[in-house]
Amino acid sequence: MADYSALEKLLHHLALGSAMRGEMIHDIEKGMFLKAAPPDEGRHVFVCGLARAGTTILMREIHGSGAFGSLTYADMPFVLAPNLWKKVSARGAQAGEKKERAHGDGIAVDQHSPEALDEVYWRVFAGKDYIRKDRLTPHKPDREQIAGYCDLIRLVLLRTGKTRYLSKNNNMILRLPALAKAMPDSTFIVPVRDPASHAMSLLAQHRRFADADAFTQKYMQWLGHHEFGATHRPFAWGSEEISGDPATPDYWLARWISAHRALIEAARAHDNVLIVPSDGLAGDPALWPALAARLGIAAKPLQEIRAMPERAAPQIEPDLTKKAAALFAELGDLSRMAFG
């Protein structure tokens, strides 16, 4: 983002800076291409969870199967008009040079890399339903909004020449129960990471993006990314009080507990919501083949999934540690029930 040209920044403003323009661009795309898009046959895959849980790497491994179409960096900034943008832009013709993404986590991306971009749809068409000034709340999209999302999926499949869609979107956990029910043939994968290490990773990213420049802040908001940094708005369920200091690990562990309570409820209520231990994917040779079989893809040798680094946490409030450990154990039980 720091090396974007003035023209690139202007295009991002035009495509993403106004919900009204976003709707208009998407309407043009649908009018031109939706009739030619393949029917929605379901069996899509959605990777979601808290940021820093391993969602990106897992999505990239699944995408490597070649079975799925996804939004990629080449679709930016006109992610709501992937076919129109492909016609008028040269972006995506070549993958280009791989560069480490802004997170500084060793993940390199190019124009063909899939990324978390479809939250733009939800922000444009339903942002008022879940984006608050100080938090993001559970979102129950109505039938029309879900149908519109399925239209976007079909448009991406038309652009990619595939019949199954793959998305990684951390905000999806806010609408997970509604979409899992509405899309029973699809699979929703939730990677889960050791809570203390996860909290420390979130804290590190919060510090990394705390002083982001103005354009980076706008970019993050346009894509619906509020997980950490200067634009942070926590996920919050019900009327829970959000307290604590985001500069401390206690705050992030409390957010981990809140989110995973909701994820446990969703996994217990819907068979197509799968809890997957991130460390297990790297350490248990049986887990990846079992997951691939559930998704109906070949279990190719893993290319990027690796053991996630343990991050030493300073003294955390004992009650939070106890609650997180109990939830982590329960999540492990749910994963074993799903995969044996």
Counting residues of the chain whose pLDDT is more than 90, the rounded percentage is 77
Q: Is position 1 within any domain?
A: no
Tell me: the pLDDT tens digits for 326-340? Answer: 999 999 999 999 987
Q: Is position 107 within any domain?
A: yes
pLDDT at 113: 85
Q: Is position 78 within any domain?
A: yes
Q: 275 has which bridge partners?
A: 190
Tell me: the pLDDT tens digits for 170-194? Answer: 999 999 999 999 999 999 999 999 9
Tell me: the pLDDT tens digits for 15-41? Answer: 999 999 999 999 999 999 999 999 998
Backbone angles phi, psi at 187, to 5 degrees: -120, 135
pLDDT beyond 70 at 2: no
pLDDT at 94: 64
8 A C-beta contact, residue 146 and residue 179: yes
Q: Is position 181 within any domain?
A: yes
pLDDT at 112: 80
Q: Is position 292 within any domain?
A: yes
Q: Is position 315 within any domain?
A: yes
Mean pLDDT, the chain, integer: 91
Q: Which domain holds residue 288?
A: 6-339
pLDDT at 304: 85
Q: Is position 258 within any domain?
A: yes
Identity at 119, one-letter amino acid code: E
Task: Give the three-class secondary structure for 11.
Answer: helix
Q: What is the DSSP string of 85-153?
A: HHHH--TTSS----EE-TT-SS-EE-TT-B-S-THHHHHHHHHHHHB-SS-B------HHHHHHHHHHH
Tell me: the pLDDT tens digits for 143-159? Answer: 999 999 999 999 999 99
Q: Is position 170 within any domain?
A: yes
Least reliable range by pLDDT among 1-5, 27-31, 221-225: 1-5
pLDDT at 37: 97
Whether the ω angle into residue 318 lies within 30 degrees of 0, i.e. cis, is no
Structurally, the chain folds into a number of domains equal to 1
pLDDT at 316: 85
CATH number for position 120: 3.40.50
Q: What is the pTM for the complete model shown?
A: 0.94
